[in-house]
């Protein structure tokens, strides 16, 4: 196996990007590894300080060579012994780079999947023309100059007499609808793409019922999404459901997906939905991926399980909403605002609701005439005891945090074993603040359910 370590240069040919790479080729398989960043910036110990710039540049230059990414995974010494599946980026492989409309989104995904430290050692496997030599690709990546066609043609001529069997390509039926809509139809007919996409979202999306939202606007106010909780380190255990330093339970979206397990669907148009429960192939999608401050909405407990920020969609349709600034993403945001934003909210709950809304962007650029009548949409049918069960969970967490704030031992399990074991590590003042917040929220929900007091319009 041939190996080479190198650094990239900007287009001017003079500015070196301080990020180390290793390119490998074994037969027809290619790998490129970006070394981790480390050391204090500005000191002799600093290592690869321009990690992100280097990753961004190498993706662009692989795109120039029409590469297809076939895998990407953490490759640090701590996790190398773990199966690839446990350290793989949650992306839709293979990824033909020339078909992507937003390379920056791919770069962000390759950084985010690493967890809080987005500058770890990762390896990207890719395929490229069989006629490219290691030295030629290395030079192309370093200097950003596309490999000359003459070199490729010469190689082809040398191999012309050899009859080689072309690899058989397969199409994945689980993803073909997404690729057709996003990469084929959109390129040829934007207007038809928008009409079809909006119709799919209207007819196949399922929302939480507005009436119940007014009583329980945030389902799990003690839960945040933290994908790193599922990354296994050598000798460590899975960290799902453990608390972070602020006392919030770390989830990988499992708890969000399971919120509606006992719900049936109320659909006026889709017979296959009406009175059925969701099975496989559906995604709990966050309507707003990012908040006003640019941070992920799923990382904030006020927006992670805020019902207006959640829609359930078939996988191929949900993927369309993941693209920042896309028509599909803006369309579900416009729908959510129309469903929930102007509902009357009980005065006790209004501060919590307004806090959540204040974090989310409201500009979407979707014309009102594209939005349907709200009676056309699908909603979940919520069991009568759902709110009570959620309030019991909130109370359990709040009481556990209260005991931690008083330096008392926990008397029983607090929802999950890892959460129970990790709570004593939360600082007492931090635990008290979260406990008080949860208690105040639960009391506001109770007030809304039991009171006939006038509600206020959400602003």
Q: Where are the domains of the chain?
A: 2-158, 194-450
Query: Looking at 10-14, 25-29, 73-77, which range is the least confident one?
Result: 10-14
Comparing 102-106, 229-233, 242-246, the range with the smallest average pLDDT is 229-233
Whether 18 shows a pLDDT value over 50: the answer reads yes
Cα 125-325-118 angle, rounded to 5 deg: 40
pLDDT at 118 (0 to 100): 85
Tokens encoding 231: 């990354």
pLDDT tens column, 260-275: 999 999 999 999 999 9
SS3 of the chain: the string is CEEEEECCECCCCCCECCCCEEEEEECCEEEEEECCCECCCCCCCCECCCHHHHHHHHHHHHHHCCCEEEEEEECCCCCCCCCHHHHECCCCCCEEHHHCCCHHHHHHHHHHCCCCCCCCCEEEEEECCCCCCHHHHHHHHHHCCCCCHHHHHHHHHHCCCCCCCCCCCCCCCCCHHHHHHHHHHHHHCHHHHHHHHHHHHHHHCEECCHHHHCCCCECCCCEEECHHHHCCCCCCCCCCCCECCCCCEEECCHHHHHCCCCCEEECCCCCCCECCCCCCCEEEEECCCECCCCCEHHHCHHHHCEHHHEEEEEHHHHHHHHCCCCHHHHHHHHHHHHHHCCCEECCCCHHHHHHHHHCCCCCCCCCHHHCCCHHHCEEEECCCCHHHHHHHHHHHHHHHHHHHHCCCCCCCCCCCHHHHHHHHHCCHHHHHHHHHHHHHHHHHHHHHHHCCCCCEECC
Interval 146-179: pLDDT, tens: 775 544 445 554 555 455 566 777 888 878 888 8
* Residues 118, 111 contacting (CB under 8 angstroms): yes
Could you report the per-residue pLDDT of 378-395, keeping only the tens digit for each? 999 999 999 999 999 999
Task: Give 310-323 pLDDT, tens digit per residue.
Answer: 999 999 999 999 88
pLDDT score at 231: 66
Q: How many other C-beta atoms can be found within 10 angstroms of the C-beta atom of residue 300?
A: 20
Q: Which of 32-36, 98-102, 208-212, 355-359 is predicted with the least confidence, judged by mean pLDDT?
A: 98-102
Q: Which of 10-14, 189-193, 199-203, 369-373 has the highest mean pLDDT?
A: 199-203
pLDDT band at 131 (very low <50, low <70, confident <90, very high): confident
Start-to-end CA distance of the chain, whole Å, equals 63
Residue 47 pLDDT > 90: no
The whole-number pLDDT of residue 208 equals 98
Q: How far is CA 382 from the centre of its chain?
A: 26
Any idea which of 111-115, 333-337, 439-443 has the lowest mean pLDDT? Answer: 111-115
- The residue-averaged pLDDT of 412-433 equals 96
Are the C-beta atoms of residues 211 and 423 closer than 8 Å to each other? Answer: no
The confidence band for 3, taking pLDDT boundaries of 50, 70 and 90, is very low
Q: What is the pLDDT of residue 449?
A: 93
């Amino acid at each position: 196996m041939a190996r080479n370590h190198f650094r990239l240069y900007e287009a001017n040919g003079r500015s070196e990007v301080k990020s180390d790479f290793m390119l490998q080729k074994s037969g027809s398989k290619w790998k490129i590894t970006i070394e981790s960043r480390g050391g204090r910036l500005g000191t002799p110990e600093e290592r690869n300080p321009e990690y992100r710039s280097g990753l961004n540049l190498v993706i662009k230059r692989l795109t120039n060579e029409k590469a297809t990414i076939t895998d990407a995974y953490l490759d640090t010494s701590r996790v190398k012994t773990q199966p690839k599946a446990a350290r793989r980026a949650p992306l839709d492989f293979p990824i033909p780079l020339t078909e992507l409309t937003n390379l920056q989104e791919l770069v962000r995904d390759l950084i985010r999947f690493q967890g809080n430290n987005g500058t770890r050692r990762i390896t990207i496997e890719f395929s490229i023309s069989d006629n490219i030599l290691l030295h030629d690709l290395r030079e192309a990546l370093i200097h950003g100059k596309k490999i000359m066609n003459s070199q490729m043609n010469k190689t082809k001529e040398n191999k012309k007499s050899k009859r080689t069997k072309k690899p058989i390509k397969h199409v994945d039926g689980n993803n073909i609808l997404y690729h057709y809509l996003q990469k084929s139809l959109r390129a040829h007919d934007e207007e038809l793409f928008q009409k079809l996409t909006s119709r799919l979202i209207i007819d196949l999306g399922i929302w939480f019922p507005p009436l119940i939202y007014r009583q329980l606007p945030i389902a799990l106010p003690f839960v945040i999404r933290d994908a790193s909780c599922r990354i296994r380190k050598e000798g460590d255990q899975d960290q799902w459901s453990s608390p972070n330093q602020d006392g919030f339970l770390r989830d990988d979206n499992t708890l969000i997906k399971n919120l509606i397990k006992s719900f049936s669907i109320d659909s006026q148009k889709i017979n296959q939905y009406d009175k059925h429960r969701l099975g496989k192939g559906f995604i709990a999608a966050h309507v707003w991926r990012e908040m006003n401050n640019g941070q992920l909405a799923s990382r904030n407990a006020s927006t992670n399980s805020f019902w207006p920020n959640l829609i359930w969609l078939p996988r191929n349709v949900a993927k369309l909403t993941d693209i920042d600034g896309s028509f599909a993403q803006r369309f579900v945001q416009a729908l959510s605002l129309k469903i929930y934003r102007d509902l009357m909210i009980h005065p006790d709950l209004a501060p919590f609701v307004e806090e959540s809304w204040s974090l989310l962007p409201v500009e979407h650029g979707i014309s009102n005439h594209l939005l349907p009548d709200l009676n056309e949409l699908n909603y979940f049918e919520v069991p009568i005891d759902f709110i009570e069960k959620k309030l019991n969970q909130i109370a359990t967490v709040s009481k556990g945090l209260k005991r931690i704030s008083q330096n008392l031992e926990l008397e029983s399990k607090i929802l999950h074993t890892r959460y129970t074991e990790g709570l004593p590590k939360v600082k007492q003042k931090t635990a008290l603040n979260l406990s008080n917040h949860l208690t105040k929220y639960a009391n506001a929900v109770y007030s809304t359910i039991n009171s006939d007091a006038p509600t206020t319009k959400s602003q």
